[in-house]
A and B are shown apart, each in its own frame.
Chain A
Amino acid sequence: MTRYILRRLLQAIPVFLGTTFLIYFMVFAMPGDPVLAMFGDKTPNPTQLENLRAQYNLDQPFIVQYLLYLKGVFTGDLGETFSGQEVSEVLRRTFPVTLKLVLMAVVIEFLLSVVIGLVSGLREGKFVDNLNVVVALVLTSIPAFVAMFLAQYFIGIKLGWAPVTVGANATWGAMFLPALVIALTVYVTGMRLMRGSVIEARNEDYVRTAYAKGLTSRRIIPVHVARNSLIPVVTNTAASFGALIAGTTITEGIFNIPGVGNTLYQAIIRGETPTVVSFVTILTIVYVVVNILVDLLYAVLDPRIRYV
């Protein structure tokens, strides 16, 4: 087990180097001069420009810039944003906000998947199941940003049940609506997995044997049907956690949440190489770690899987 985790972490090193290099290169190749952009409409004097370029190492060749950046990462210095803040400081401020949002979304997604999937699977082909399939189809068909604008308009503005935007004060309560909307747009995959597994599990021989032992549905459904069906759903949800952390840009933009996605978006617009690369690197690491955890979770849920 320890050996397996170690091996997986070692595999993460080339992934880390590859992503940082690619991202660095892509930001470097972006059109426009970031230093010029800092001045907006004003015309800066050339020495000022030279100084700024030197300050951010922008006068060096690409590969030197990249290596200097890597050196910084390994010595704990992620660089500065153009407004002079430490990138690590910005991360410390924004990361918890996004984590809160995604955590809430994932929990809601998981509950929706399991409960609706279970009910639907147990009532396969009945009215509830058909209704659920139609609702799920509608929900997956709506693009996330449309769903968010709709929620913002009806629930936030018309009904006034939730704040329209979150702003600086990102509390759990304020972010419930965006989290719910995220969950509603992604729960369908998990729900279908659960529904399918439940239908399959109901017809398993061991379920029939459990009935033959004299057990009642009240015990068999949670213990033998739901428990076995959870395996793919849990891992799917965990995987979506990684994907959501990296994909909250639109949500954070629409609801004005001061999280990672929002900051990253701003940084891309301004061409702030260190900020963009550092953020994406962190997100990559989170993604890789979450995926290792998902694989380990498999072994916890299914005793047949053992890693060596």
Chain B
Amino acid sequence: MSDSFQTQTSAASTAVEDAPLVSVRGLEVAFRTQGGTVNAVRGVDFDIFPGETVAIVGESGSGKSTTATALINLLPGNGTIAAGSIMVDGKDITRFSQRQMAAIRGGVIGYVPQDPMSNLNPVWSVGFQVEEAVRANGLATHRKDVKARAIEVLKQAGLGDAERRMQQFPHQFSGGMRQRVLIGIGLAADPKLLIADEPTSALDVTVQKTILDHLETLTREKNTAVLFITHDLGLAAERASKLIVMHRGRIVEAGASVDILTNPQHPYTQTLIAAAPSLASRRIRGMAAPGAPVLDVAALAAEHNPDHERELQEAPVTIDVKDLTKVFAIRRGSFRSEPLTAVDKISFQVRKGSTLALVGESGSGKTTAARMVLGLEPPTDGDIFVGGVNLNGLSSRGLFDLRRRMQPVFQDPYSSLDPQRSIGAAIAEPMKVHGIGDREARSARVRELLDQVSLPQSIAERYPNELSGGQRQRVAIARALALKPEVVVLDEAVSALDVLVQAQVLQLLADLQDELGLTYLFITHDLAVVRVVADEVAVMEAGRIVETGTSDQIFENAQQPYTQRLLDAIPGSGIDWGN
């Protein structure tokens, strides 16, 4: 594998410059765990040339982030570089002392971390933390110069009122602004290489686009090489000229981005590209023939089926929301409070057996709306009818009964299952609460449900920590289906999953919908996913629904500028995909 890669990089390199800035050969990283040594990176070779943008793409556990942290020698305590070399400017940094390494970090290799929330120290002001970077890299020594330089760094990173912002603390910044600070710190000393480890995966798409555009401008101006680490193929292809695809600690394919996307060679890359939901995909339906290949989202997308669409148009309305409003009181001081309208007079309908996607960025009110439909949050005004029953004025007994017909699946499969309970107990709990069946009947139903979500029955005896994220989300779906509900509210139910797993879960949801005639209310920020699951789409902005329509109408002919902005911001939206 590495041989073919060498030839590819050297072919590309002649176009840029002759000597590579970073040259990684035979890199192996091992982690000591209680169960022995685990090799997270196994023999990785690649080069990065000055001014070039390279992206390492892979799923969680592929070793992409480990490779990046090895480049600046910041592996977690139990990780070590077991073999191989990392040449930076002709010197092997794997042999460097801590002191030598400190000199490289910041000045030669800058680093922008993934999570803007946890990467700034909460007890120091933002200015302090930028000044620290300025001083560490010897950019200025006098107090006044340091401060001036720090303000400059923040301004360059796109923070308008940097002078005032300097004294503020990280918690007073939004996620996007914190990420700008981190990018500023990463670029403060004009490094030759900037490592950006999933720099925007915690941010809204429109913010992500602005920040990545800005980063691109900065690095192009200064001819900084960039190494992107990302799970998002679209983003990688859009931002990098060269792609490295990693799988289980190895590079499976590398080369020019366009070549890989349009003509992937390795089977893994092919599945990855096929599974990536994109704007070109269509609505997937339940599979007619079980046993068909599972992962190809594009192939699974049903052909335009006018009959099916008409059927849905005529189906009875299951969820009917009218002028739903939620006003929160935000505390300002001890006695005063300000009203905040989280959801502002929204109305929508979901027909039986169909899927409505409620799309919006963080703060748009989509989750609050979902919580009100689930009866977890009382509305300030407006009505919600589920199967003809008005949630308003429902007694707690009535609400309890209603919950049999409506179940949620939440975003985080790690925190939505009680670690103390076995999978079987977790799935059986709703039946127990609602007094359905005896022990025997319930465990039979658990086995049936596990079959439905394609998990082995033996899993019932196991505990959540033994399961992968995808398996857990299947368990959460099985639990939601335990009471045979008509409606399932899916709140970002696939957002935390890797792309391949995501494709499988989406397929499962489509199958179950066909089989059981389920009605889905699908809450998500990810428009690309919407394309493959939704019949109808409602776009929310600042508490209001700004546009509704069928999936095709929204994706092919969006009327509102906000919807258009959202669509444009999807990474990879402008790329002609291999599928």
Binds B, one of A136-144, A202-210, A254-262: A202-210
Task: Name the residue of chain A whose CB is nearest to the CB of B331.
Answer: A308
Q: Does B374 contact A (CB under 8 A)?
A: no
Instruction: Indicate whether A209 sits within 8 Å of B113 (C-beta atoms), given known contacts A214-B107, A216-B99, A304-B171.
Output: yes
A302 in the interface (beta carbon within 8 A): yes
Contact at B133–A206, with CB atoms within 8 Å?
Answer: no
- List the A side residues contacting B107 at CB < 8 Å: 214
On whether A303 and B123 interact (CB within 8 A), knowing A206-B118, A208-B74, A308-B333, the answer reads yes
What is the distance, in angstroms, from A173's C-beta to the closest C-beta of chain B?
38
| A228 lies within 8 A of chain B by Cβ | yes
**B118 contact set on A, CB distance < 8 A:** 204-206
Q: Is the CB of A301 within 8 A of B123?
A: yes
Known: A216-B98, A227-B123, A302-B123. A205 touches B115 (CB 8 A): yes
**Roughly how many angstroms separate A301 CA and B124 CA in the complex, as a whole number?**
10
**Beyond A3-B334, A206-B120, is A212–B105 a contact (Cβ under 8 Å)?**
yes
Does B105 contact A211, Cβ atoms closer than 8 Å? yes
Tell me which residues across on chain B come within 8 A of A266, comparing CB atoms: none
Distance in angstroms from B168 CB to nearest chain A CB is 9
Query: Nearest-CB distance from B387 to chain A (Å)?
Result: 45
A287-308 contacts to B, CB under 8 A, are 301-304, 308
Say what secondary structure dominates the interface of chain B: loop
Q: Does B72 contact A (CB under 8 A)?
A: yes
Docked-complex contact B132 and A212, CB < 8 angstroms: no
Q: Are B113 and A205 in contact (CB under 8 A)?
A: yes
Is B121 in contact with A210, judged by CB distance below 8 angstroms? yes
When distances are taken between beta carbons in the complex, the residues of chain A under 8 Å from B133 are: 213-215
Q: Which of A206, A216, A217 gathers most chain B CB within 10 Å?
A: A206
Say yes or no for A270: interface residue by CB 8 A criterion. no
B456 cross-chain contacts in A, Cβ below 8 A = none
Residue pair A228, B123 in contact (C-beta under 8 Å): yes
Complex Cα spacing A228 to B189, Å: 26
> B69, B77, B98, B121: which contacts A224 (Cβ < 8 A)?
B121
Interface flags, B340-357, vs A, CB<8A=1, else 0: 000000000000000000
Q: Which residue of the partner chain, among A212, A227, A304, contacts B169 with CB atoms under 8 Å?
A: A304
Question: A209 contacts B119, CB within 8 Å?
Answer: yes
Say yes or no: A211-B74 contact (C-beta < 8 A), given A205-B115, A304-B169, A308-B333: yes
- Taken together as a complex, chains A and B put the C-alpha atoms of A205 and B334 apart, in Å, by 34
User: Which of these, A206, A228, A308, contacts B334 with CB under 8 Å?
Assistant: A308
User: Does B20 make an interface contact (CB < 8 A)?
Assistant: no
Measured in the bound complex, the distance between the Cα atoms of B335 and A7 in whole Å is 13
Q: Are B111 and A209 in contact (CB under 8 A)?
A: yes
Q: Which of A159-212 contact B (CB under 8 A)?
A: 202-206, 208-212
Interface residues of A in 68-97 (CB under 8 A from B): none
The list of the 4 closest CB pairs from A to B, nearest first, reads: A214-B106, A212-B111, A205-B118, A213-B133
Give residues in A with beta carbon < 8 Å to B.
3, 7, 202-206, 208-217, 219, 223-224, 227-228, 231, 301-304, 308
Can you add 15 more A-B contacts, CB < 8 Å, to A209-B111, A214-B103? A203-B76, A209-B119, A210-B132, A212-B110, A212-B186, A213-B133, A213-B136, A214-B107, A215-B132, A215-B133, A215-B136, A217-B98, A228-B121, A228-B123, A303-B169
Mind listing 13 A-B residue pairs with CB under 8 Å? A205-B115, A209-B111, A209-B113, A212-B111, A212-B186, A213-B185, A216-B102, A217-B98, A223-B132, A224-B121, A301-B123, A304-B169, A308-B334
